[in-house]
Amino acid sequence: MILKSYQKQIIDDLALFLEKLKERRNIAEAFNAFWMLHPRTPITPSFGEAVEPYKNNVPNCPHVCIKVPTAGGKTFIAANALSAIFKELDPARPKIAVWLVPSNSILEQTIRNFSNPRHPYREQLNTDFANKVNVFDKRMLLQGAGFNTSSVRENMTLCILSFDSLRARKKEDRKVNEENGNLQSFAKDVGEEEISVMSVLRAFNPVVIVDESHNAESELSVEMLKNLNPSFILDLTATPRKNSNIISFTPAIELKKENMVKLPVIVYNHHKKEEVVSSALELRSKLESAAVEAEKSGAPYIRPIVLFQAEPKTKDDNATFECVKSMLLEKKIPEEQIKIKTADKNELQNVNLLSKDCPVRYIITVNALKEGWDCPFAYILASLADRSSSVDVEQILGRVLRLPNVRKNENVMLNMSYVFTASARFSETLDSIVKGLNRAGFSSSDYRQVELEKSVEPTEMPMNESIASMSLLNDSNGGSKEGEFDLSSILWNGDDSSLSPASVASVSDHGDAKSELQNQQSSIMAQIEHLAQKENEELEKRIEENRTSPVAPPEMEKQVKTYAIKSIFKDSASQIILPKFFMKGAVEGLHVDLFGIANTPFDKDMLLKNFPLRNADTNINFENVDVEMRSIDLDESQKDFTPTIFSVGKNQQAEITRWLSNIEDVERKRQKCAERLRDWIGNMYPIPDPDIIEYIRRVLSNFNDKDLNQMLNSQSTYAERIKQKINALAAEYIETEFDRTLDQDKIILRQHYRIADKLTLSSAGKPLPKTLHEKEENVNGFEETVINAVANLENVEFWTRNREKKDFCINGFINHYPDFIIKTKHGKIVMLETKGDHLDAEKKIKLGNLWASKAGNNYRYCLVYEHRKVDHAYTKDEFLATLKEW
């Protein structure tokens, strides 16, 4: 299982924050510095103005949050995040993590997945931590089942617990705080008379993952986190609360672009509950027919499922789960296809809904599926609430949003989700669905609700106005804010003059009624299919535009001042679509279009699939390595007891290395040293972990006992030099493979990137002529000299600053962000990179010129020195003289 592009961005965001934390050694300063340098939305450096200050919820502990909508893969993201976090902590300390979840259903699911060695979550941990992973639940911790000091020190330890088990509200949950004789092996670690599960966890300063963290905001929950004495806290949620320190936003459109969700949502309001059932059955049948046909053509297996939301059993109503089941049975639905899932009755236990052998096609619930339940085959939510009230669907709407197999289907009907209701107050129903999208992490900027029409008689409004859709549409001004989902609601609320329940029940005896019902149902299906096709086309159009001109999430834009493109240049700039490199042919984890081209721009890591590291050169210079050992502890001299790096005395060094130094068998010592170095090096995705381990073993193969002891006293330096060597080997291999693949036309250029309509700047520059935006990022020194001269040339139309790791990238064997993008009045697009005469830039020159040669006659690349003469580069005077002619 490979990280999607937006998931990789989240991990990159986390890594940047950790980098700033290590650099600043102050949590609040690191948080502010992170947002100043955020790769997608850099902001003004005035502390507290552009982004809210860091909230010190748990003193002395970095506590940050990632926002990902429902179906965005939060658990897999966090599984990858653990490696990034532990990499920045002291590797000599035990790696122990506490994973907290809000409910028993999520608890059971999380434990099951991480305990399964074949599940992608566990596979990721095994890859990141060299197969040395132990997973514990509360029962195992209390019993000390494999949970002892030796295990914790030798493995990555993941403890999966519910909030309640640590809040200790119930007697059963207090056991984690009670003395426990099963944990005596931790006596030296705990240093307390009474040893309990909680005291052991506190002693090891665990990394804490808080799943659905919006459920852990109470004073009791914060106290729970403090009691764990954590070293780092990462919150996962679709709906962060006000006291969250958010470091990464993911807009809903990113999930659609990666085929993670079924959007748009088509909503149809019926007159009667019986009609809801009929429509749900007919649409499900149509979807399954489409899925069967798709499977014949090689698509993965899909069996569409309907979720029926029944009334609570306490209500005197004919739509309780028992009545709904009876209604389905009367319609000749086989009983084996129907399952009930309520708070008191769970017929889904131990049922694998994704199996081809599973017959289930209908699930009846009230709101027991509101969280912790995951089945991408759920396509239709049919709500049978009381007609006199709004429909309370928001609790389980997120259950129908996941797209099966994370793959777009040829039949667009299989790429959407559907909601059927029978409400007399349809506007309130839509409000409820909007709340459901809010709960799923689709913010108010991700959709727009058009003002609802007043109810009219059916004769005054055609049948096809009884549908609402939630999709990506143009706004009322004819434009659209990229990355946002709009809600367009067109309604029809008819009276009760249509078919009565009696006529529905007796259709087998009355041919005319049956014919009328069939015609009406056929009309409904036709309307749904028509709207679905229309909305899908519009959505795909907006997604494609977003691919070529991605924008920051709306939540970010609200926090910063933006600078728009000047109106005089808007039309001209809109015509620029800069080409980027794309890979032809199958790429692991990526889909290809009809032309066999990957749907995501080329990334140099794509070429590392066959990187022969195991057999690569191991000649590394370890001379002049000083003894380097550090510890990370709380600095009592700081007001907030900031985690700080301290030097480690010789006595402490000896204590840490003694157990290895005493190993007489050199081969065993070499193996242990290799494991220590692997821990220091950390994850080097996509290079496989076994290849790194084998390479380290080969590096150490000629080390004698004295060499190994020397390495033990300088582990970080040795690890860093090995990592540098691996990176150098990988870079050399990538460049060779890029040249070969480009020459074979397996890497091509295609138009992709649009210049941002708005900028958010870390430091706005002084006024200069012909800037594309109202303001550009600050330039100085040689850059300013060159671009000022460029701006004063008669044939230059405009220029814009191209920011490092934020704007356009020439994505080749290195990622190169030229300093400026220039457009001339003759239509030439010039990529300008300036360099001081003392700096080498051969690889940038090579890649830039390769890009320009492939891009076509309207594109130029120029690397400019002030006076230095370099092949295929320019001096400043040569460049200005040449630019005048373009």
Q: Span 389-406, mean pLDDT?
A: 67
Residues 333 and 220 placed together within one structural domain of the fold? no
pLDDT band of 472, cuts 50, 70, 90 = very low
> What percentage of the chain's residues is helix, strand, coil (to nearest 5)?
40, 15, 40
Residues 710 and 791 placed together within one structural domain of the fold? no
Residues 245 and 276 placed together within one structural domain of the fold? no
Q: Span 411-416, mean pLDDT?
A: 87
DSSP state of 405: G
Give the Cβ contact number of residue 655 at 10 Å.
Answer: 11
Residues 662 and 765 placed together within one structural domain of the fold? no
Q: What is the pLDDT of residue 474?
A: 26
Q: Verify cis geometry, omega within 30 degrees of 0, for the bond prior to 102.
A: no
Largest CA distance in the chain: 96
pLDDT band of 429, cuts 50, 70, 90 = low
Q: What is the pLDDT of residue 297?
A: 87
- Cα dihedral 541, 542, 545, 551, rounded to 10, equals -170
Least confident piece of the model among 54-63, 289-298, 334-343, 487-496:
487-496
DSSP state of 230: -
Residue 292: helix, strand or coil by DSSP?
helix
Q: What is the pLDDT of residue 314?
A: 58
Residues 782 and 799 placed together within one structural domain of the fold? yes
Residues 713 and 686 placed together within one structural domain of the fold? yes
Domain containing residue 90:
57-250
Q: Span 831-853, mean pLDDT?
A: 95
Least confident piece of the model among 110-119, 173-182, 232-241, 608-617:
173-182
Highest mean pLDDT among 363-377, 581-595, 666-680: 666-680
Residues 179 and 112 placed together within one structural domain of the fold? yes
Residues 299 and 212 placed together within one structural domain of the fold? no
Question: Could you say which of 203, 228, 250 is where a domain stops?
Answer: 250
Residues 187 and 272 placed together within one structural domain of the fold? no
Report yes or no on 261 lying in a domain. yes
Place of tokens 């759920």: 378
Residue 168 pLDDT more than 80? no
Give strand pairing partners of 161: 100
Q: What is the pLDDT of residue 768?
A: 87
Q: Span 337-346, mean pLDDT?
A: 84
Residues 331 and 427 placed together within one structural domain of the fold? yes
Q: What is the pLDDT of residue 849?
A: 96
Kindly report the average pLDDT of the chain as a whole number: 78
As a whole number of angstroms, the distance between CA 235 and CA 458 comes to 50
Q: What is the pLDDT of residue 36?
A: 72
Q: What is the pLDDT of residue 54?
A: 85
Report yes or no on 748 lying in a domain. no
Nearest to 109 by CA among 344, 301, 309, 349: 349
DSSP state of 857: T
Residues 308 and 188 placed together within one structural domain of the fold? no
Q: What is the pLDDT of residue 440?
A: 62
As a whole number of angstroms, the distance between CA 276 and CA 297 comes to 32
pLDDT band of 656, cuts 50, 70, 90 = very low
Report yes or no on 411 lying in a domain. yes
Q: DSSP of 683-740, one letter per residue?
A: --TTS-HHHHHHHHHHHHTT--HHHHHHHHTTHHHHHHHHHHHHHHHHHHHHHHHHHH
Q: What is the pLDDT of residue 246?
A: 87
pLDDT band of 289, cuts 50, 70, 90 = very high
Question: Could you say which of 706, 726, 746 is where a domain stops?
Answer: 726
**Residues 470, 474, 478: CA angle, nearest 5 degrees:** 155
Report yes or no on 570 lying in a domain. yes
User: Which ranges of 744-875 does DSSP label H, i.e. alpha helix?
Assistant: 781-791, 842-855
| Percent residues over pLDDT 70 in the chain | 73
Report yes or no on 76 lying in a domain. yes
Say if pTM beats, i.e. exceeds, 0.75: no
Q: What CATH number has the domain bearing residue 876?
A: 3.40.1350
AA identity, residue 446? D
As a whole number of angstroms, the distance between CA 849 and CA 859 comes to 10
pLDDT band of 181, cuts 50, 70, 90 = confident
Q: What is the pLDDT of residue 687?
A: 87
How many domains does the chain contain in total?
A: 4
As a whole number of angstroms, the distance between CA 842 and CA 847 comes to 9
Q: What is the pLDDT of residue 450?
A: 30
Residues 693 and 821 placed together within one structural domain of the fold? no
As a whole number of angstroms, the distance between CA 831 and CA 819 comes to 8
The pLDDT tens digits of the residues spanning 613-638 come to: 988 999 988 877 654 444 445 555 55
Q: Span 652-661, mean pLDDT?
A: 49
Report yes or no on 199 lying in a domain. yes
Question: Could you say which of 205, 220, 250 is where a domain stops?
Answer: 250
Report yes or no on 25 lying in a domain. no
Q: DSSP of 145-200, one letter per residue?
A: SS-SHHHHHHSEEEEEEEHHHHHT-STGGGGGGS--GGGGGGHHHH-SSS--HHHH
As a whole number of angstroms, the distance between CA 284 and CA 363 comes to 12
The pLDDT tens digits of the residues spanning 204-260 come to: 999 999 988 877 767 777 888 888 999 999 999 887 877 888 888 887 778 888 888
The pLDDT tens digits of the residues spanning 690-742 come to: 889 889 999 998 888 888 888 877 787 888 899 999 999 999 999 999 999 99
- Helix axis angle, 5-24 to 27-36, nearest 10°: 130
Report yes or no on 745 lying in a domain. no
